[in-house]
A and B are shown apart, each in its own frame.
Chain A
Amino acid sequence: MLSLNRKTKGEALFDLLNNIGMLLICFVTLYPIWYVVVNSLNEGMDGMRGGIYWWPRIFSFENYTAVFQNPGIMTAMGVTVAKTLLGTILHVFFTAMVAYAFSRRELIGGKIYIFIGTITLFFGGGLIPTYLLMKDLHLLDNFLVYIIPVMFSFFDLIIFMTFFREIPDGLEEAAEIDGANDWSIFVRIIIPVSMPVIATISLFHGVYQWNDYFAGVIYMNNMDLQPIQTYLYRVVAQSSSNQMVAQIPGGIGKTVTSQSIKLATMVVTTMPIVFVYPFLQRYFVKGMMIGSIKG
């Protein structure tokens, strides 16, 4: 065994280079994010001169104060929080419920149901037919357009189904003998034992809800109902910088610029994800495996 574990010179060099390479990848991944954070914490006018790479030159929270005092940004943030919470709860509950029914072997018509769903993995209507449907359903300029059209996903159903099928049947049978019906079995037994997969799907859909800007772009003309990512999209892609400055309340408007506010908004928008994801990390690796390999 000793000879197996001893490092040769070549091995040692390999390890050294590999470690250096990985550190380099970490740096390349993190630095652009660090750069934004540092610049958002620098005084705006000074930041325009550039050259801030590692640490703020003139430290200032004013960009953040401006973000939090901007009613447009705060409304958009509220819409995003609402759609993420509501959308995720409904998506997870509804998809899990359908998956639970589909996963029961005795379900009459189960094979046909699954076939109907599988088709949707490969074919879809595309942008315009979907838009026309939303219009017919009166979902344009309606908050529910963020929730109902993405309340279900057949891909997520497969992940749930794979998990449910591994739950021992005895658990359900025992509850049935105690007189529980399928609804209460689902709510009281299946959901509590499925927390790992629920956490995974919640993270995936939560991130989707948080990050999606396109629904806001095409379905929403009402600016009070646009999510923060759509707001940012309009700032970033259409660079309406003049509007931005005009929106800043007079008192603090002196040293912030549209650019520095943009950076601060980006940081504020990203914070919740950065905080939540380490906690859910151990779940999603498992969940992604189930979904990708078996599905």
Chain B
Amino acid sequence: MENMRPDPPRRQWLRQMYRQRHIQIMALLGIAWIILFNYVPMYGIIIAFKDYRIINSIAEAPWVGLEHFKAFFEDDNFMNVMKNTLGISLIKLIVGFPLPIIFALFLNEIRSLRFKKAIQTISYLPHFLSWVVLGGILTTWLADVGIINNILLALNVIQEPISYLAEPDYFWGIIITSDIWKELGWSAIIYLAAISSVSPDLYEAATIDGAGRFQKMWYVTLPSIKGTISILFILAVSGVLNSNFDQILVLRNALNESASNVIDIYVYQTGMLSGRFSYSTAVGLFKSVIALFLLLIANSVTKKLNNTSLF
């Protein structure tokens, strides 16, 4: 009779746990990794509010409150760093975000399938090259005796060669242009995929109504991929502050510092090179807070505009 009674919930739970012990071990190995490599560094952020020295542990370091944040706001570099970070990010968003959409729209109009495939293959290629190699290409091209100066001198546009990477005035332009060059084709993939799922009926109907190619792009294709554009816009806004680090680290130098010193570079310099761990963690945290605000703003704006949002 004893055996006929249903298991109490606890025993049933244990039995189920035992039955799925293999997948539980797999899952918990993952969780252990996540806690060690993602959550422990999050805990480490508290050194932004402490006076941490490398010789003692995080727990032993004395609390200093918001002192490091105050020091950053009062630092001579603050205005410059903010200007560079927000300036590069904003221009990159305004110029760099629509271009892949335009590219995808026009690529979609190519009639020969083989030609279209070839262009796609070529346009993704730079995405797979490292910023170090591209940095090498750029320093070669932009050198005093580089191809850019040679062409401009031959065309009499300039009288003397310019050291582009030594001039702060050119730095933002170089960063933004080369980033577009690298990622244009790659960013367009997702839009092309979205375009290819637009129903052909819509185009036929538009053709019967007498719509031209541009009108079809504007009135059929664009509205059909609005959802994809919104999601990618939110992601672009939230990621914009930390997207150029690898690139700028390769191209910056002492001469262009006034234009190349963005938050991430500043964190790297003050933290890794000068050993001011607490201070640079505070600066990094400040950036994360701005990024979070940007994410929330972009999310609510796109939600209002067309009912698409990330959360």
Q: Could you say which residues of chain B place their CB within 8 Å of the CB of A51?
A: 150
Any B CB within 8 A of the CB of A22: yes
Any B CB within 8 A of the CB of A100: yes
Any B CB within 8 A of the CB of A75: no
Minimum CB distance partner of A99 in chain B: B30
In the complex the two chains form, is A126's CB within 8 Å of B284's CB? yes
Given A22-B107, A154-B34, A182-B20, are A233 and B44 neighbors across the interface (CB < 8 Å)? no
In the complex the two chains form, is B125's CB within 8 Å of A15's CB? no
Q: How far is the CA of A32 from the CA of B39 in the complex (A)?
A: 42
26 contacts between A and B (CB under 8 A): A10-B212, A11-B212, A22-B115, A25-B184, A32-B137, A94-B30, A94-B33, A104-B23, A107-B23, A107-B24, A120-B39, A126-B45, A130-B41, A132-B44, A152-B30, A182-B23, A211-B129, A211-B131, A214-B246, A236-B250, A270-B130, A273-B129, A277-B124, A285-B189, A292-B190, A293-B190
- Residue interface mask A243-284, B partner, CB < 8 A = 1: 000000000000000010011001001100110011001000
Q: Is the interface of B mostly helix, strand, loop or mixed?
A: helix
Minimum CB distance partner of A27 in chain B: B122
Given A101-B24, A128-B271, A207-B128, are A108 and B17 neighbors across the interface (CB < 8 Å)? yes
Q: How far is the CA of A266 from the CA of B140 in the complex (A)?
A: 12
In the complex the two chains form, is B193's CB within 8 Å of A18's CB? no
In the complex the two chains form, is A289's CB within 8 Å of B207's CB? no
CB distance from B201 to the nearest CB of A (A): 13
Q: How far is the CA of A166 from the CA of B167 in the complex (A)?
A: 54
> Residue A214 contacts which of B249, B251, B284, B295 (CB distance < 8 angstroms)?
B249
Q: How far is the CA of A21 from the CA of B42 in the complex (A)?
A: 48
In the complex the two chains form, is B136's CB within 8 Å of A263's CB? yes
Any A CB within 8 A of the CB of B241: no
Any B CB within 8 A of the CB of A127: yes
Any A CB within 8 A of the CB of B221: no
In the complex the two chains form, is A127's CB within 8 Å of B137's CB? no
Q: How far is the CA of A269 from the CA of B288 in the complex (A)?
A: 34
In the complex the two chains form, is A128's CB within 8 Å of B280's CB? yes
Q: Could you say which residues of chain B place their CB within 8 Å of the CB of A116?
A: 31, 34-35
In the complex the two chains form, is B133's CB within 8 Å of A127's CB? no
Interfacial residues, chain B to chain A (CB-CB below 8 A): 13, 16-17, 20, 22-24, 26-27, 29-31, 33-45, 47, 58, 103, 106-107, 109-111, 115, 118-119, 121-126, 128-133, 135-137, 139-141, 145-147, 150, 181, 184-185, 189-190, 193, 204, 207-208, 212-213, 228, 231-232, 245-246, 249-253, 264, 267-268, 271-272, 277, 280-281, 284-285, 288, 292, 295
CB distance from B207 to the nearest CB of A (A): 6
Given A21-B106, A113-B31, A288-B190, are A100 and B284 neighbors across the interface (CB < 8 Å)? no
In the complex the two chains form, is B13's CB within 8 Å of A124's CB? no
Q: How far is the CA of A51 from the CA of B149 in the complex (A)?
A: 11
